[in-house]
Amino acid sequence: MPEPVLRVEGIAKSYGRHAILRDVSFTVEPGVLVGIVGENGAGKSTLLRILAGDLQPNSGRVWRRGALGYCPQEVVLNEALTVAQHLEYFRAAYRLPDLGRAGELLALLGYERYRHTLVSALSGGTRQKLNLTLALLHAPEVLLLDEPYQGFDWETYLRFWELAAALRAQGRAVLVISHLLFDQQRFDQLYQLNDGRLAPLAAAVDERQVS
Amino acid sequence: MAMHWWTRYWTAARFMLIEQARNRLALLLLVLFVPAWYALIGGLVDNTPLAFRFRATGAFIQVNGHQLTLLSMGINAITLIVGFMLFSATRKNTRFDRRLIRCGYPQLMLILARLTALVAVAVAVSLYASVVLLAFWRPPHWPAIWLGFGCATVIYGGIGLLLGVLVRGELEGFFLIIMLSLVDSFLQNPYGNPVANKDFIKWFPTFGPTQVVVAGGFTDMMPWRYVALSLAWLVGTALLGLAIFTWKTRARRVQALPLRGTSPLASPPPAV
């Protein structure tokens, strides 16, 4: 078994007396697609923010290897800039030599024609595509996606899975969290976050065996 | 991959300037409000001579009430606009800036770019307001008027930046800037205002800029002390604002450690 790119051990997080995460542990290997499902308020986004280094846990540890890509649930863009200007901005952030990968992602997600459109004029779905693109520009080893296909139409939703499969084939680890996971057979590992505790989701295994 | 710091600085500065140029409400305010404010309030105030305490010499000088009010209105209009522009841009983009920093953008480059945008906006807005002033009055030392207006705009740019990281709501921030700018600029003008020449006025932000524009409009000297005082205001407000920005956009853990290493990527704070 290859060495994991992400190892999470005993993560706990609480706000005051309210426990959000309790003793969460798991590992993610390269080339694996992991899904974490949970109801609203189950602690999914908190877990992802801790994995991304955006939030400090009360206890527990996270190890990560390689570059990280993080697509937050809430679209974080600049309304006054165009799609192309966002790409250039993040190219400078990631120190990329060119924007070749960006062109591929725009084509794959089908929003090339909006390259020179202001973000303020984009639909919610297209904003979400750009939000996702910015997390993928630098071909990260570990990709954390928080409700990544929210607002996508069916066509884009399918394109997203093509993209996820391609990333997995390249040996990237992809972790998707969502309150609803359709297409559970697409995941290599599935977990459920319930009341702050993470447990393997048996149903998915059954579904995979059936498919 | 090496990327020159200048490229990253200039990329951020360019986009922050583009962002300012796309603030249509601010541009509309600038184009319409500045001449309207000169015409409206200037038209209401006659040429009554006023005693103005010119702090560079400590003496009272006699100034034309109409002309002094034009200067006060100019300061009021431009401080309001620049304060709003910087407040709006800073407030809207703190999360976006944090995302850039988490993706590797150096915090320092974003801070320098924000300051560059502030100074560029202040220079352009103060130039416009001092040129429009010429349609109403030809002051003897026009460059000093521009300099005084420039001092006022950089101060309110700094205040806008500070409020942008402190105040959550757009309306609250805008209201604070309007009130501060109105009270500040009106208190400096002795027209119908008995407290204008009192000592406590010097603690208000546009005290220095008002002294500079009065020097340009009614004297033959340049009170550099008050230019320096204005810059001190900019440094104070901007530093405080940028310190809060730095704290808000800090990445808690940015380094990716090797898996077999002994140090974890994230761990609880040490017990105290």
Q: Where are the beta strands (DSSP E) in chain A?
A: 6-15, 18-28, 33-38, 59-64, 68-71, 142-146, 173-178, 189-194, 197-200
Give contacts of B102 with chain A, Cβ < 8 Å: 52-54, 70
Three-state DSSP class for residue B236: helix
* Mean predicted lDDT score pLDDT of chain A: 89
- The count of C-alpha atoms lying within 13 angstroms of the C-alpha of A24, restricted to the half-sphere facing its C-beta, is 30
- Report the gap between the CA of A87 and the closest CA in chain B (Å): 11
Give the model's pLDDT for residue A128.
92
Query: Which pLDDT score, from 0 to 100, does residue B272 have?
Result: 34
In this predicted structure, what is the pLDDT of residue B224?
Answer: 93
Which positions of chain B have pLDDT values less than 50? 254-256, 261-264, 267-272
The full 3-state SS of B79-142, as one line of letters, equals HHHHHHHHHHHHHHHHHHHHHHHHCCCCHHHHHHHHHHHHHHHHHHHHHHHHHHHCCCCCCCCH
What per-residue confidence (pLDDT) applies to B201? 85
* Among the partner residues A54, A77, A95, nearest to B252 by beta-carbon distance: A54
Contacts of A70 in chain B (CB under 8 A): 102
Over residues A5-47, the pLDDT tens digits come to 999 999 999 988 899 999 999 999 999 999 999 888 888 889 9
pLDDT value at position A205? 46
Residue B245 identity (one-letter amino acid): F
Strands A33-38 and A18-28: unpaired
Only one residue has tokens 């884009």, namely: A156
The pLDDT of residue A35 is: 93
Cross-chain residue pair B256–A66, CB shorter than 8 Å = yes
Lateral strand order in the sheet of A33-38: A68-71, A142-146, A173-178, A33-38, A189-194, A197-200
Please check whether residue B127 is in contact with residue B82, taking contact to mean a CB–CB distance below 8 angstroms. Answer: no
Q: Write the pLDDT tens digit of every residue in A68-86.
A: 999 988 899 999 999 999 9
Mean pLDDT of A104-130: 94
**pLDDT tens across A173-194, in order?**
999 998 876 778 889 999 999 8
Helices A100-108, A154-169: axis angle to 10 degrees equals 140
Directed axis angle between helix B107-133 and helix B65-102, to 10°? 160
Contact assignment for A57 to B1 by CB distance below 8 Å: no
So what's the pLDDT on residue A203? 54
Question: Residue B252: its pLDDT value, please?
Answer: 59
A209 vs B78, higher pLDDT: B78
Q: How far is B265 from chain A (nearest CA, A)?
A: 5
